[in-house]
């Protein structure tokens, strides 16, 4: 069907290993989608939902032991262990190929191997990359159709080139003892075996677009980041774009699809991407960002008309739901949805469920896979092959007491330090007690495909190469009072903070210099129509010197873990903050 010799040769080689009964080369057509959907329904791999209520929507249930990414089974297989660094699991390539190869051997016997050519990024963009994923799962095929530009278009873009990312996936026997997600950065290869969960098997996503791409970006002089991309249009029609990185459970998707509050009349927000940003230096000297994906692979529980109405609309048709509660008559439900739960249903494990069962109906990591084009806030520029120009880079975490609502770094180097030291903590909302602090530099800890010290060095070097770099900020929507209640309303109101950030980038809006960065003056944020108790904004913007000294002390074990490759500039910034606090 396709004439690329390098692809054909590799597919034949992998078929000899996995021994499928047949090989199907995919073209991405609608006829193909219908045929494969019907085939998967006939085998029970997926189900149709109620097509009147959820047109084009499908339902899938994974194995009970296969419901999330498996970080402890995820490896960077670089030739030198030092290149993977202390924050990644490492395995020598020879050992990894041999160990996973034994599981792959004959794993597709009695099954079909599907060949998925796909593009990460808009077709024809100089910044796009082509991958080929081989899989024995129609569920994977149907998800990759939503998440990427798949089929003939990818092979046309590849042409005769042998430069593509090779991805091999097999469910094998779904045994967690025989489950590995292997990344070979020097070979541009990904092997995933023993899982059927999207985060482990949609190889264009975290595996390619972050772990492999971050290594590519380092060598080619760009950035592959775990960041949303959002456009903010002011009442005069000017659009400014920001890219933002948050660890999990910090509202990344909600911010990407933010709905302006009624009080901020005339503002619009535009979603370019909710998860991944590939960023390069443009001819105009600015940093330009592109979303390499074409869909959203979002967490379902907690998604409602209050938290994320745009996500609900995006997922109202042509969407694949995974591990949610199956209600009567082809309906679905999850915890946090606006409507009441059904009187009975089948839970994510396949067991009978009622509201009195005492267990969750939908798995806490249950997912929706929806086309980005269906999002009401999708940007007109989201498939622009050049990307969009980034005004500000934003980092954030979930901190009850430490970080103020927003602050601006002094310069790029200080901003890299801010990103390198972001963290989130578990809190007991009713008492405000601080739980475990998890360091997650640039929200990339599970996704950086090489040594974290080299990654920070790459960020520092990029700053020297960008003639007009974005300014760097930190936000924290999760500051609490003494009773453990959130001080800031969040959600759509976060636009007020974004507006201050953008105006700072344009040389406007007032700020106060503090030991940690520039913080808005009390009257610099537009709080019109927001009824906050007296003293709240002062609390949100306060910097407690003693708490910050503790924070800096708490950063040291993680920074020391990076070892000899820790850039001197990071420690210089750490010490500079400490000196300013003293």
Annotated binding site for Mn(2+): 206, 226, 275
Residues placed in the known binding site for GTP: 249-254, 367, 398, 491-494
Distance, CA of 274 to CA of 296 (rounded, Å)? 7
Selected catalytic residue, list 57, 207, 250, 505 = 250
**b/e code 549-572 from CB counts within 10 Å (16+ = b):** eebbeebeebbeebeeebbebbee
Q: Both tokens of residue 340? A: 């009441």
- Binding site membership: which residues? 69, 197-199, 206, 226, 248-254, 275, 365-367, 398, 491-494
CA dihedral 424, 429, 434, 438 (to 10 degrees): -20
Pick from 266, 243, 265: nearest CA to 256: 243
Q: Which residues neighbour 294 within 8 Å (Cβ) at sequence distance 6 or greater?
A: 146, 147, 148, 149, 371, 372, 373
- Residues facing 408 on adjacent strands: 473, 518
Beta bridge partners of 407: 474
Checking DSSP bridges between strand 352-353 and strand 345-346, what pairing results, if any? antiparallel
- 291 and 522 Cβ atoms separated by less than 8 Å: no
Q: Is 250 one of the annotated active-site residues of the chain?
A: yes
Q: Which residues contact 35 (CB under 8 A, 6 or more apart)?
A: none
Element (H, E) at 581: helix 568-581
Instruction: List residues forming the annotated binding site for substrate.
Output: 69, 197-199, 248, 365-367
Burial classification of residue 56, based on how many CB atoms lie within 10 Å of its CB (0-12 exposed, 13-18 middle, 19 or more buried): middle
Cα–Cα distance between 328 and 345 in angstroms, integer?
6
Cite the active site residues.
250
């Amino acid at each position: 069907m396709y004439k690329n010799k390098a692809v054909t040769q590799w597919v034949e080689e992998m078929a000899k290993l996995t021994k499928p009964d047949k090989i199907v080369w995919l073209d991405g057509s609608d006829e193909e989608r219908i045929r494969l959907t019907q085939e998967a329904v006939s085998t029970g791999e997926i189900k149709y939902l109620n097509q009147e209520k959820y047109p084009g929507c499908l339902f899938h249930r994974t194995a009970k032991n296969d419901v999330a990414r498996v970080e402890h089974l995820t490896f960077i297989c670089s030739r030198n262990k030092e290149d993977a660094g202390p924050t990644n699991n490492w395995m020598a390539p020879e050992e990894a190929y041999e160990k996973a190869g034994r599981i792959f051997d004959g794993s597709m016997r009695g099954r079909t191997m599907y060949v998925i050519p796909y593009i990460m990024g808009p077709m024809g963009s100089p910044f796009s990359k082509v991958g080929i994923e081989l899989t024995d799962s129609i569920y994977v095929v149907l998800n990759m159709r939503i998440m990427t530009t798949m089929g003939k278009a990818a092979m046309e873009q590849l042409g005769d080139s042998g430069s593509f990312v090779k991805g091999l996936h097999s469910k094998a026997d779904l045994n967690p003892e025989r489950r590995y997600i292997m990344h070979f950065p020097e070979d541009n290869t990904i092997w995933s075996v023993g899982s059927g969960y999207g985060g482990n098997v949609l190889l264009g996503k975290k595996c390619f677009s972050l772990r492999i791409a971050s290594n590519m970006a380092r060598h080619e002089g760009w950035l592959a980041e775990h960041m949303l991309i959002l456009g903010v249009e002011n009442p005069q029609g000017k659009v400014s774009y920001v890219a933002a990185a948050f660890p999990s459970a910090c509202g990344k998707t909600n911010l990407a699809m933010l709905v302006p509050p009624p009080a901020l009349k005339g503002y619009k927000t535009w979603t370019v991407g909710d998860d991944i940003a590939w960023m390069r230096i443009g001819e105009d000297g600015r940093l330009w960002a592109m979303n390499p994906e074409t869909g959203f692979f979002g967490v379902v529980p907690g998604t409602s008309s209050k938290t994320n109405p745009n996500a609900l609309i995006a997922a109202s048709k042509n969407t694949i739901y995974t591990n949610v509660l199956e209600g009567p008559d082809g309906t679905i439900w999850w915890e946090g949805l606006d409507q009441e739960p059904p009187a009975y249903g089948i839970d994510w494990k396949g067991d009978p469920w009622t509201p009195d069962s005492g267990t969750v109906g939908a798995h806490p990591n249950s997912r929706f896979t929806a086309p980005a084009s269906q999002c009401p806030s999708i940007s007109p520029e989201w498939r622009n092959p050049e990307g969009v120009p980034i005004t500000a880079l934003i980092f954030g975490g979930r901190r009850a007491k430490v970080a103020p609502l927003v602050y601006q770094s002094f310069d790029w180097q200080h901003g890299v330090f801010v990103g390198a030291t972001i963290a989130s903590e578990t809190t007991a909302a009713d008492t405000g007690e601080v739980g475990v602090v998890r360091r997650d530099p640039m929200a990339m800890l599970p996704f950086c495909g090489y040594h974290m010290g080299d990654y920070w060095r790459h960020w520092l070097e990029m700053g020297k190469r960008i003639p007009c770099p974005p300014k760097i900020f930190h936000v924290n929507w999760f500051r609490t009072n003494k009773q453990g209640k959130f001080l800031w309303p969040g959600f759509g109101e976060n636009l007020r903070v974004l507006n201050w950030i953008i105006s700072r980038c344009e040389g406007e809006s007032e700020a106060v210099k503090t030991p940690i960065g520039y913080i808005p003056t009390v009257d610099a944020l537009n709080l019109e129509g927001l009824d906050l108790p007296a003293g709240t904004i002062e609390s949100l913007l306060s910097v407690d010197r003693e708490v910050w000294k503790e924070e800096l002390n708490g950063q040291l074990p993680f920074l020391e873990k990076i070892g000899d490759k820790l850039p001197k500039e990071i420690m210089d910034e750490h010490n500079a903050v400490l000196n300013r606090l003293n």
